[in-house]
Amino acid sequence: MKKVREVIVVEGRYDKNALSQVVDATIVTLGGFSVFNDREKLAFLRRLADKQGLIVLTDSDGAGFVIRNYLKGALPAGRVKQAYIPDIHGKERRKRHAGKEGKLGVEGMRPDVLLEALRRAGATFEEDAASGERKAPITKADLVLLGLSGGKDSAARRLALLKKLDLPEHLTANGLLEALNLLYSPEELTQLVRKDLY
């Protein structure tokens, strides 16, 4: 399985499931058109674009292009790559009927087609993770040590951190960990929390 450095943005969870069987990457779902009204998710995507770069991979139908064009205007241009799937007519197995335009979406693409779309977009494929330098991940234990979990006032501190980072207040503990690991090293998080929350 190829590892992709950039964060890949897809429309929904079925797209994410299909793509996660092809590449080892952080894949963020937009929730379709709901991204238009989700300022927190957009702020999160901007931060990810600045930190790691983004690849936008939406369906090839009209709705996919509406979402793609919205993101083009909302995200920093130099940090976002566009991956396009071909127009292939058909329907996904889980659906009873084909979509309005009769085209397969990301979830219906063969693995080799998805890989080729990422290659053409200029995705950065990294060699085996062992050969690259990997930072130590932030763990739940780190959150406890920083007073963000399991202690007095930890909920208030966590809420203050989420607000500071423009992340949704309803983010689960696992979601928070994933977001923090995308944005910070353990040392950077420690500095941020000590400077701003104590």
Q: What's the pLDDT score for residue 133?
A: 53
Spatial distance between the Cα atoms of 49 and 15, rounded to a whole number of angstroms: 20
Cβ contact 100:59 at 8 Å: no
Domains of the chain with bracketed CATH: 2-126 (3.40.1360.10), 140-197 (no CATH)
Q: What's the pLDDT score for residue 1?
A: 87
Question: Does pTM surpass 0.85?
Answer: no
Q: What's the pLDDT score for residue 129?
A: 43
Burial label for 134, CB within 10 Å (0-12, 13-18, 19+), is exposed
Query: Greatest CA separation found in the chain?
Result: 57
pLDDT digits (tens, 9 = 90+) for 35-50: 999 998 999 999 999 9
Q: What's the pLDDT score for residue 112?
A: 95
Q: What's the pLDDT score for residue 5?
A: 92
Residues with pLDDT less than 70, the chain: 127-135, 172, 197-198
